[in-house]
Amino acid sequence: MKGTGRVRVLVVDDSAFMRRAISAVLETDPEIEVVGTAGDGLEALEKLRSLDPDLVTLDIEMPKMDGLTTLKHIMKEHPLPVLMVSSFTTEGADATLTALELGAVDFIPKDLSMSLDIVKIRYTLLEKVKAIARRGLRRRAPAGPKVLTPPPERKFEVIAIGVSTGGPMSLQKVLTKLPADLPAGVLVVQHMPPKFTKPLAERLDRLSTLEVREAVDGDEVTPGRVLLAPGGRHLRVRRKGEVEVGEEPVDALYKPSIDELMASVAEHYGPWGVGIIMTGMGHDGRSGIRLLKRKGGYVVAQDEASCVVYGMPKAIVEEGLADAILSLDEIPGYISGLLSQRSGGYTC
């Protein structure tokens, strides 16, 4: 932004077509300026020093220096927000998750033909670039937990989590701090395309003491099990103790949809359900959370200071739907306290 108010972006990709395509999309927004492009990691590092951008879009597979190696150098030498451009393959998904662990903020998928569906990704790309660049890598000090409604003394049976931009690493931080004997099932919608959610579930399963897997139709909701919605399909509760995975509604803005999950939890669990809305753009989850609140469920929103993008939680907070507003670090302890119902046990 550097005094102009515009977000300055460096586009890095070994494909000249991709560099042009991404640049063309970004330059349709008057709030964004493409200050340069690079065809490999070495060139990118050189241009970083001279151009000093606010954000980098970075391909993973490149000659001379690949995206992951380049990312390591960026985080060490010139830390700034990085948005990965990743192929729609299992290998691409694995590399993307590694990139997120190394410090990349989020990613945009591309298909095997090395093309971007401009119509589909234009809005998402523009909004992600602006939100992520303006947020930067800075984290404000948390204000401390804000419990607006004391948790009721009841045995909650399911935890439903909705998350989007910045979600994979946020989920990792939460799930890896929950105990193996968690006395409730966990259902998660993370906005991700197909082929990305299964590797994410496998990674979380390795890192966590909980059982984490990509959900399939008919899976049981059981204590200590985490079911992650598959990319491109909705996850809903069919009946208490069982989920369904399907395509309907086909016209949903997001697939998987947080609203669909929360609405089904409201219907089948009501006051025995907890809804948690974490980092992400937009307001998916708001209408489903409204229903959960009407049915007596308990609602937690992640605070602004710890969000990568404070969009979805903000929508919940501004409508007065949140019972507690917590930092990312506080959420696991609060979940454990809600479920243990021990005296004074709502620790963060």
Q: Which residues are catalytic?
A: 164, 191, 284
Where would I find the H helices in the chain?
16-26, 41-51, 67-77, 90-102, 118-135, 167-175, 197-207, 258-268, 286-294, 312-318, 331-340
CA-closest candidate to residue 49, choices 31, 40, 36, 62: 36
CA-closest candidate to residue 293, choices 261, 270, 326: 270
Identify whether the C-beta of residue 285 lies closer than 8 Å to the C-beta of residue 312.
yes
DSSP for 194-222 reads TTTHHHHHHHHHHHSSSEEEE--TT-B--
CA-closest candidate to residue 238, choices 258, 210, 260: 260
CB-based contacts of 18, cutoff 8 Å, min separation 6: 59, 85, 110, 114, 115, 116
* Rg, the chain, Cα only: 20
83/71 Cα distance (integer angstroms): 10
Element of type H or E holding 182 = none
Distance of CA 116 to the CA centre of its chain: 21
Identify whether the C-beta of residue 292 lies closer than 8 Å to the C-beta of residue 264.
no
Q: What angle do CA 344, 345, 347 make, to 5 degrees?
A: 105
What region, left, alpha or beta, does residue 300 occupy, with left being phi > 0 and alpha being psi -120 to 50 degrees?
A: beta
**Beta bridge mates, 300:** 276, 324
